[in-house]
A and B are shown apart, each in its own frame.
Chain A
């Protein structure tokens, strides 16, 4: 489809000898939310970590296959992974603001370390990103407080703001709400739906209700294979694969 911002072809990933992903094919449409579900260890985290080439930073890890980002293969030999990561942002399971940095410095860390120093630019981006992450109203008076002094849910939205500040067209989220309470979770879910108009989101989740609530398409992974991928509404109501049905009805996993 011409509308696809990302298309994955035959992606395999290894940790040493162990193959964690077995030839995954998957397309992601622009301005959509894609949910990745599956039991622990099924490779969904590894999959998203291959999309910003973070997977290869683990000692002994490797990947092969094609990941076309806006038509260009990010695994081509002459591609700099650092530049890919500016286009494909990531939010992690545990909120991980940089310690010893203020809220403000956390948000603009990506820009600052990329060499942007103009205060006016940084201020503008910080406010914009914090607004996008629905955090501005809560922190606008404590921008110089330590990022780690915020609550867990606020920290996670701070991390989202930090990722958004470098304006990536794609945002990967690796179980972003699994360490949060229900209210913070609801805020992040709302945020994800909001963000869809600006960017494309790929989200790993263990919570099937969450996937059903906020995603357009859902992919079900099992033992390193992509079992089923389709519209969220049909995957959860009329799954094509027996394994998918068993998983979403709680037969295993």
Chain B
């Protein structure tokens, strides 16, 4: 006991100046790491703006790619393709992911839930190119062709585990006594989940969904094996479709200077899209005035 006493006294008697210096040093280290992380983002952003912005113009945004050798042209087909495939993927992926999350948080118990949770975690960490290959075998081969549908399916498959686990974590934050308060009022469990639990965490779930959308909007690898690419404007989901990431990839590795510049411009648009989506989410989920509906 007495030795413990002694240690405590030693610690408290650590000279104030020394403690202050140490604190300063650690604070400096922490700020430095934060700065390093932030400067990575800023430099990526700045570089993309520097290389890409000069080549963004109305022609680039609104016209289709020109044949090799001709100058001008744009990535309109890729913008539409990305929007369409992200939309189709979201239509499947968002409800599927949220429902899985609700199951895991509200109903899932025992071995089956463990298996689902484990699979979702594994699926979330599968390299996206493997997801593309999987959809290739599952959809592209039987359909005998690349298609936007297959592309959307691969995007959905990437979204589901992200949204499911995020939803689960958020619903678990809703204190159990709120569920009990609802049940004790004679409200059936499904209604308690829908109107009290889910509604209470709508903000967080929306954030998760938006981040998942932002994530898949920039996916290249899974689309290479599924939607392929298309130099023409195509809105038929059973046909190959262009997408911004794949177009950027194609143009970036091409031996033509103008294509490389267009790739930068495309990267700029993609970064802005993801950035706006992120900011928009934050704005949307900003604690709004708590209050009444109807």
Residues of A within 8 A of B (CB): 52, 54, 57, 59, 82-87, 89-90, 92, 94, 96, 98-102, 104-105, 109-110, 113-114, 144-146, 148-149, 159, 162-163, 166
Q: How far is the CA of A51 from the CA of B177 in the complex (A)?
A: 17
> Nearest B residue to A145 by beta-carbon distance?
B291
Choose one: A85, A145, A146; the contact of B183 (CB below 8 Å).
Answer: A85
B71 part of interface (Cβ distance < 8 Å): no
Interface-central residue, A96, A102, A144, A146, by most chain B CB under 10 Å = A96
Choose one: B188, B189, B200, B293; the contact of A98 (CB below 8 Å).
Answer: B200
A227 to nearest B CB, angstroms? 27
Q: How far is the CA of A96 from the CA of B293 in the complex (A)?
A: 20
B200 to nearest A CB, angstroms? 6
A89 and B290 within 8 A (CB) = no
Q: How far is the CA of A94 from the CA of B291 in the complex (A)?
A: 22
B185 and A113 within 8 A (CB) = yes
From residue 263 to 294 of chain B, which have CB atoms closer than 8 A to chain A? 290-293
How many residues belonging to B are interface residues under a CB distance threshold of 8 Å?
24
A144 and B291 within 8 A (CB) = yes
Chain A contacts for B109, CB-based, 8 A: 59
B183 and A57 within 8 A (CB) = yes
Chain A contacts for B183, CB-based, 8 A: 54, 57, 85
B185 and A99 within 8 A (CB) = no
Chain B contacts for A102, CB-based, 8 A: 290-292
B184 and A100 within 8 A (CB) = no
Q: How far is the CA of A109 from the CA of B195 in the complex (A)?
A: 10
A86 and B178 within 8 A (CB) = no
B187 and A110 within 8 A (CB) = yes
Chain A contacts for B290, CB-based, 8 A: 99-100, 102, 146, 148-149
